[in-house]
Structure 1
């Protein structure tokens, strides 16, 4: 198995987890917060998608799907175009409301762009430095694994919240 194939498989597993957390829920269910400081499913999925979009675009020196494909105005969120959710306040988390179709549509667009970039990767490509502001500098391979890890964590959190929503429970 090539490294690119391994990465394609990992990102495909993230997609399965995202769909499992979102599909079939109403906008109200996606916006449930188990307490006033908790993240909703909508925010978690929007955030993990924004991070993937931001980091993949940066690593491959391309535009973000969020802005280039018109997703920002479709969501109508009161955040700057570069916002990814990192450091969001509780009121900013609460502002992220969207139907499942919109969340999954944006996720699918970012996922497809990611797969396009990964398809032609070689093992040598993974050693390319994509961020020299860290010590040691971050390589493409490290950045991709980081995105997969963050995506999986947030998709898992969204799945947990979904379980609570489906049982009508609060934490």
Structure 2
């Protein structure tokens, strides 16, 4: 599986998650269930997922203006536990805008771009260097990890979370396709 294929699977899972969250009462999405400095509720995690994708891809890889820069109300409180009062629709609209920009970038992804080295200035310790391929896989894995947290937070509130497992988004192999047996001895 390559990065654009994995991103397509994540987008399909996002649609399922989005539909499920839109059916959840706002007080559940805003309920402070997590301690710590940055994330207290599901809405905080939703914004964080989108901000990380936006920052790494648009800011660090592309060295362009982030989508968040165009959302001053969200930008002012993007890294704190302050999204409880933000309408879910606003968070989802921002995530959609990030997704659109990511899709545009991924449509031109080349093998040379994947091997390009980028310097990440805000990752401790400062000025770390990674390949674009590594950063993109980090962004994808980051979303998977945090959507699992959201699923757990829903379950802790007696709400059945949506199924987000990768196998539900992969195309199955037809039964008529012969299986390959590998000898690992």
Normalising by structure 1, we get a TM-score of: 0.74
Cross-structure match for 2:64: 62
Change over 3 Å in CA distance of 1:157–1:17 after alignment to 2: farther
The answer as to whether partners of 2:34 and 2:41 remain within 8 angstroms in 1 is no
Q: Residue 92 of structure 2 aligns with which residue?
A: 104
5+ residue gaps, structure 1: 86-91
Matched, 1:72 2:72: yes
Residue aligning to 1:117? 105
1:149 aligns with 2:133: no
Q: Secondary structure at the match of 2:157?
A: helix
Alignment gaps of 5+ in structure 2: 121-126, 160-185
Summarize deviations over 1:76-113 as a string: whole Å, max 9, x none: x753xxx5x2xxxxxx41x2222221111111110111
String of CA shifts for 1:106-159, please: whole Å, max 9, x gaps.
11110111111001111221001111622xx20111001111111111111011
Please say if 1:8 is aligned against 2:7.
yes
CA 1:119–1:46: 2 relative to 1, 3 Å = same
* Whole-angstrom distance in 2 between the partners of 1:112 and 1:64: 12
Q: 1:35: Cα distance to partner? A: 5.2
Q: Counterparts in 2 of 1:19-34, with a 5 A limit?
A: 19=18, 22-34=21-33
Secondary structure, counterpart of 1:130 in structure 2:
strand
* Regions of 4+ moved over 3 Å: 35-38
CA contact under 8 A between 1:57 and 1:63: conserved in structure 2?
yes
Give the count of matched residue pairs: 149
Return closer, same or farther for 1:154/1:147 CA change in 2, 3 Å cut-off. same
Larger Rg: 2
Structure 2-normalised TM-score?
0.69
Q: In the alignment, what sits opposite 1:89?
A: none
* Aligned equivalents of 2:138, 2:16: Cα separation in 1: 17
Q: Does the aligned pair in 1 maintain the 2:42–2:153 contact within 8 Å?
A: yes
Retained in 2: the 8 A contact 1:129–1:140? yes
Residue pair 2:3, 2:136 contacting (<8 A) in 1 also: no
Cα distance in structure 2, aligned partners of 1:151 and 1:20: 17
In 2 relative to 1, CA 10–35 (structure 1 residues): closer, same or farther, beyond 3 Å? closer
Q: Is the 8 A contact 1:14 1:155 kept in 2?
A: no
